[in-house]
């Protein structure tokens, strides 16, 4: 079975789906790796590094797509409407596609994939079960985003983070407020603390208090009813507007006292909740910084513009998108390891085993046999539920 690794079609994407060190691991599973020429260069992995580990190099994209039985990608066509749409013509019926396919945010992309006849697995839909932790690309990439958010904030702030006692006097530490203590938030806390800032954090899930405090930060407790704030998946649930209004009222003074605010409240497939209003921004000190990690979903700050940095009321607001791509070397290592573990579970004895009894495979499978088969995605598309499918074993 040949696994194809294409150059990402989005020119802003610097990651690659598999790195050279993983080629021998997949070879032991009976997989042959074919890499498009230059696919890993932006991440720091030249073609020769892949060849030294046993991969072959495809001279062009058409050759890669026509030869591969399974395609491992970072982003599917929905992430790049120009290059991605061109790729749709290169897929062939029966081919397997694994990557970040954004089926909840762009369900029409799943319909387009189904029309090509590919069997597509979307890694965003991995269930949060212990067996899937080593495949969890969202957590891996969120960790990088949280780290980079803290670095961006420190580089933008007109103050130094740590307390310093100097001949010119004492420098007081910067105050950082992290809203949301998921994977990204916890990494933002840890990185800010390493840089010497005083950090406090808030999350609607009281259960994360211990994790926040273990990193040396203060957990902000608000008098809000948070019962049912955590979904069975482990992620925070969408709350009502009245909840967010009262939350904003209670956070206003904390935000005003902070030098940096990092927000991380993103809801897959839904608009991000507004946690910072313009009035709250106006109340911050001149030179303060906001890093909005939910920018791609509309932003937690109502002034955020995705992909832009702007200054409003003397506050710098950063709306970064795709931060993991800016740390492409390590992001590719982590993403590739997640993908490799997923493939080791999916491919058994040289064949793709579509085992619907396996929660990991069942939940991530979005298209098969020319149809959108994932129940969540079908609901978004207004399609009726399908009959329970059967297991399949498919050889290349």
Enumerate the active-site residues: 128, 133, 136, 139, 235
Residues, the chain: 396
> By C-alpha distance, which of 207, 215, 159, 158 is closest to 185?
215
For 222-228, the CB contacts below 8 A with 24+ separation are 222/247, 222/250, 222/251, 223/250, 224/250
- Dihedrals φ, ψ of 55, to 5°? -85, 160
Q: Is the dihedral of CA 121, 14, 146, 177 positive or negative?
A: negative
351-354 sheet: strands from edge to edge: 347-348, 351-354, 392-395
For 2, the token pair is 């040949």
For 110, the token pair is 């799943």
Computed on alpha carbons and rounded to an integer, the radius of gyration of the chain in Å comes to: 22
> By C-alpha distance, which of 285, 279, 277, 284 is closest to 304?
277
SS3 311: strand
Q: Are strands 365-368 and 119-122 parallel, antiparallel or unpaired?
A: antiparallel
CA atoms within 13 A on the CB side of 192: 35
- Dihedrals φ, ψ of 238, to 5°? -70, 130
Residues 6+ apart with CB under 8 A from 224: 204, 243, 246, 247, 250
Helix, strand, coil shares, percent, the chain, to 5: 40, 20, 40
């Amino acid at each position: 079975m040949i696994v194809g690794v294409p150059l990402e079609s989005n020119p802003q994407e610097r990651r690659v789906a598999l790195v050279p060190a993983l080629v021998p691991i997949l070879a032991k599973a009976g997989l042959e790796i074919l890499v498009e020429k230059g696919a890993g260069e932006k991440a720091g992995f030249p073609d020769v590094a892949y060849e030294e580990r046993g991969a072959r190099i495809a001279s062009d994209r058409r050759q890669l797509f026509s030869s591969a039985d399974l395609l491992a990608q970072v982003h599917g066509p929905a992430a790049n409407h120009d290059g991605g749409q061109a790729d749709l013509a290169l897929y062939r019926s029966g081919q397997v596609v694994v990557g970040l396919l954004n089926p909840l945010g762009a369900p029409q992309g799943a319909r387009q994939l189904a029309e090509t006849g590919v069997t597509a697995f979307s890694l965003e839909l991995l269930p949060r079960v212990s067996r899937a932790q080593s495949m969890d690309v969202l957590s891996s990439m969120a960790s990088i985003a949280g780290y980079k958010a803290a670095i961006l904030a420190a580089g933008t702030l007109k103050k130094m983070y740590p307390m310093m006692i100097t001949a010119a006097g004492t420098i007081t530490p910067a105050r950082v407020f992290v809203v949301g203590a998921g994977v990204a938030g916890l990494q933002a806390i840890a990185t800010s603390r390493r840089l010497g800032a005083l950090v406090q954090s808030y999350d609607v899930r009281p259960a994360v208090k211990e994790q926040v405090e273990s990193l040396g930060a203060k957990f902000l407790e608000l008098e809000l009813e948070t019962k049912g704030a955590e979904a069975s998946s482990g992620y925070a649930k969408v709350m009502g507007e009245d909840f967010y209004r009262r939350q904003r009222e209670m956070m206003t003074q904390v935000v005003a006292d902070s030098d940096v605010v990092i927000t991380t409240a993103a809801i897959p497939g839904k608009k991000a909740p507004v946690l910072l209003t313009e009035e709250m921004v106006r109340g911050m000190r001149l030179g303060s910084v906001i890093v909005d990690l939910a920018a791609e979903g509309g932003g937690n700050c109502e002034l955020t513009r995705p992909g832009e940095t702007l200054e409003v009321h003397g506050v710098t607001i950063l709306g970064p998108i795709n931060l993991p791509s800016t740390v492409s070397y390590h992001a590719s290592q982590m993403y590739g390891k997640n993908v490799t573990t997923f493939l080791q579970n999916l491919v058994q004895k040289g064949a793709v085993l579509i085992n619907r009894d396996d929660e990991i495979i069942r939940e991530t499978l979005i298209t098969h046999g020319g149809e959108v088969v994932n129940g969540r995605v079908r609901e978004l598309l207004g399609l009726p539920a399908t009959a329970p499918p059967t297991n399949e074993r498919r050889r290349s």
